[in-house]
Amino acid sequence: MFANQSHGFLCWTRRLLLLAGTLALSYVALTLLNARLYQDTANHTLEQQIIHAEKQNTAIPSRPAVKEGDVLGKIEIPRLGLSVAVLQGTTSKTLLLGVGHIEGTAFPGEMGNIGIAGHRDTFFRGLKDIHSDDEILLQTTAGIAKYKVDWIQITAPSDSGIISPTTDSALTLVTCFPFHYIGAAPERFVVHARRQ
């Protein structure tokens, strides 16, 4: 009788673990699918913004009125095959859908240091393979700005100096480090580039 109870318990435990694993994988798959679909929508939104700006043929304001999650542009790193929408803000919800413009830094298209953050396990995973002198393209309604990576650094999360204002046009990409760390990563991986 004890053997039957033990066997029954093991059967239910296996079923429960299988169900939990299936639900976890389904959640990850749906999250990634949602992000991919959102990227398509964001690219379409940016294209429409560019068409509208061209039709208006007017100067684009340096600080547009934006809210969390608005599409600001698109960042591409051709050598890495990275292409992702740049959204306003860095909330968890925003960073699940794209990379985010860091509040308090220059807006894409402005002079100064533009700060962009992204998750290491989604859109900024490819940064682990970036090199000095790699080209980064930042597309906005004002056009495409070209940047060249001049340094890569690993720093503490509290190091706010990496996104300090500059007088020249710069781009700073920030993600968590190490890339394959499980849980909240203890450091930040920073890529700095200057406009060409």
pLDDT in tens, 38-97: 888 877 787 777 777 777 765 444 456 789 999 999 999 999 999 999 999 999 999 999
Length of the chain as a residue count: 196
Provide mean pLDDT across the span 167-186.
93
DSSP designation for 133: T
d(CA 175, CA 116): 9
Topology, domain 54-195:
Sortase; Chain: A; (2.40.260)
**Which of 54, 72, 51, 55 shows the shortest CA–CA distance to 63?**
72
Peptide bond into 186 cis (omega under 30): no
Average pLDDT estimate for 12-19: 84
Burial 161-183 (b: 16+ CB within 10 A, else e): ebbeebeebbbbbbbbbebeeee
Residue 154: the pLDDT is 97
Contact 196, 138 (CB under 8 A): no
CB 187 within 8 A of CB 174: no
CA nearest neighbour of 134 among 146, 125, 122, 120? 146
Average pLDDT of every residue of the chain: 88
